[in-house]
């Protein structure tokens, strides 16, 4: 398999290096052929090549089996017009790869109960999956524009765009707890009324076995902090999903923990939910777990190698229950650097993967 790695900006290079370390360890343990090339995106590409998404990056990504991305965003370009900001590179990449469903799981980890802003009894048992529509809504809608003292964006969805993303959310619910919460703002927005109608119709016609509830986005934001364990799959449009997934992520103890997979397009895109965190970049303190868990999602969704994905996920859990912590999840206690966390997880993942293959062989 051929992976294109896009380290990007800020802590992106540090955390993707650890994700690659884990991928390499798994591939070595399982004698899986694997090769990767590193390309530029975001601020680092703007600085070097004057373009946040150079053509060579797009063509390499389109020729690979999966894309693993670090983070994009650099304050140096904050004042640039939209098209010349690092984020524009990421949005163009998303649209070039074509993945429209962005899966962002958030699960309570008992070992991190102390780092969550919620009381342990409130967060315990939370295991939810946000399915964020990634190619529509305000991020991509036209018309959009900016004059000196006036600016506008358009939230626009076609029924077909809602349906294709909803289908992925329903399918995910089918192999989970069979509950789907569709989040919108149908009390105010026409686009949300269409969203609600499209999801309801799909539910009746194709997914009668899934329990659906519709919820306004403000209510959802509230329930996420009061009763997060009530959710299974949350389906929502692009901007609502962006906001709710940061909220869900931080509940787990740190934004640094959360992974994402973007599927449905030509090539899958796997990236942690966190940003480039320029304030801690280059210090070796970033948490690589979000990036490593994104590599696990890559094995699951792009390579259909569930055993490898599970080995990585279990290795993360093992490292945490063995007491390893980066600063963000150390609650003031002892911590290890980014690289140590990566090495510790890589060793555990390889051992787990070998053991699972041994078990499979002896069955
Ligand atoms: C995310 C990020 C991006 C987004 C930014 C960097 C464009 O916040 O992946 O959640 O808004 O989608
Ligand atoms: Mn975001």
pLDDT digits (tens, 9 = 90+) for 158-214: 999 999 999 999 999 999 999 999 999 999 999 999 999 999 999 999 999 999 999
State the pLDDT at residue 154. 98
Closest ligand to 91 CA?
1
**CA 126 vs CA 5, 151, 259: distances in Å:** 31, 39, 16
Q: Which residues of 324-333 are buried (b: 16+ CB within 10 A; e: fewer)?
A: bbbbbbbeee
Closest ligand 1 atom number to CA of residue 260: 9
State the pLDDT at residue 15. 98
Q: How confident is the model at residue 90 (pLDDT cuts 50, 70, 90)?
A: very high
In 3D space, the residue among 321, 306, 312 whose CA is nearest the CA of residue 352 turns out to be 312
SS3 344: helix
Measured CA to CA, the distance from residue 171 to residue 173 in angstroms comes to: 5
Q: Whose CA is nearest to atom 5 of ligand 1?
A: 87
Residue to substitute in 82, 242, 269 for testing ligand 1 pocket (most ligand atoms within 8 angstroms of CB): 242
Closest ligand 1 atom number to CA of residue 102: 9
pLDDT at 270 over 80: yes
Q: What is the DSSP letter of 112?
A: G
Q: Is 178 annotated as catalytic?
A: no
State the pLDDT at residue 166. 98
Average pLDDT, the chain: 96
What number of other Cβ atoms are within 10 A of residue 350's Cβ? 21
Tokens describing residue 258: 């959360």
Closest ligand 1 atom number to CA of residue 238: 12
Q: How confident is the model at residue 361 (pLDDT cuts 50, 70, 90)?
A: low
Measured CA to CA, the distance from residue 13 to residue 39 in angstroms comes to: 11
Higher pLDDT pick, 142 / 254: 142
State the pLDDT at residue 30. 95
Q: Is 246 annotated as catalytic?
A: yes
Q: Is 185 annotated as catalytic?
A: yes
- The pocket around ligand 1, CB under 6 angstroms, is made up of 72-73, 87, 90, 242, 273
Q: Is 157 annotated as catalytic?
A: no
> Which candidate in 51, 139, 157, 301 is catalytic?
139
**In this predicted model, what pLDDT tens digit does every residue of 300-353 receive, in sequence order?**
999 999 999 999 999 999 999 999 999 999 988 999 999 999 999 999 999 999
Burial class (CB in 10 A: 0-12, 13-18, 19+), 82: exposed
Q: Whose CA is nearest to atom 11 of ligand 1?
A: 242
Closest ligand to 271 CA?
1
């Amino acid at each position: 398999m051929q992976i294109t790695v896009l380290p990007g900006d800020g802590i992106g290079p540090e955390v993707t290096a650890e994700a690659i370390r884990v991928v390499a360890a798994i591939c070595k343990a399982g004698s899986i052929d694997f090769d990767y090339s590193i390309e530029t995106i975001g601020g680092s590409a703007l600085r070097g090549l004057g373009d946040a998404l150079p053509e060579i990056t797009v063509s390499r990504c389109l020729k690979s089996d999966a894309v693993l991305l670090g983070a994009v965003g650099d304050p140096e370009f904050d004042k640039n017009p939209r098209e010349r900001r690092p984020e524009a590179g990421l949005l163009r990449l998303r649209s070039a790869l074509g993945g429209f469903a962005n899966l962002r799981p958030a699960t309570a980890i008992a070992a991190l109960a102390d780092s969550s802003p919620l009381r342990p009894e409130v967060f315990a048992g939370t295991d939810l999956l946000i399915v964020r529509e990634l190619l529509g809504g305000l991020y991509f809608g036209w018309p959009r524009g900016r004059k000196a003292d006036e600016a506008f964006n358009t939230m626009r969805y076609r029924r077909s765009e809602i349906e294709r993303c909803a289908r992925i959310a329903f399918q995910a619910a089918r192999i989970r707890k069979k509950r789907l919460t569709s989040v919108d703002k149908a009390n105010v927005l026409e686009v949300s009324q269409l969203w609600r109608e499209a999801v309801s119709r799909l539910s009746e016609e194709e997914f009668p076995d899934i329990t659906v509830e519709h919820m306004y986005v403000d209510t959802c934001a509230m329930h996420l902090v009061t009763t997060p364990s009530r959710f299974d799959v949350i389906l929502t449009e692009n901007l609502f999903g962006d906001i709710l997934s940061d909220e869900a992520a931080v509940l787990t103890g740190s934004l640094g923990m959360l992974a994402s997979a973007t599927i449905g397009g030509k090539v899958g895109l796997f990236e942690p939910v966190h940003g480039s965190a320029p304030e801690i970049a280059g210090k070796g303190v970033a948490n690589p777990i979000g990036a490593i868990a994104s590599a696990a999602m890559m094995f699951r969704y792009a390579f259909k190698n569930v055993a490898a994905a599970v080995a990585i996920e279990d290795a993360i859990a093992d490292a945490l229950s063995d007491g390893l912590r980066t600063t963000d999840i150390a609650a003031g206690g002892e911590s290890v650097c980014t690289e140590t966390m990566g090495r510790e997880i890589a060793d555990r993942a390889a051992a787990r993967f070998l053991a699972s293959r041994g078990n499979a062989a002896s069955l």
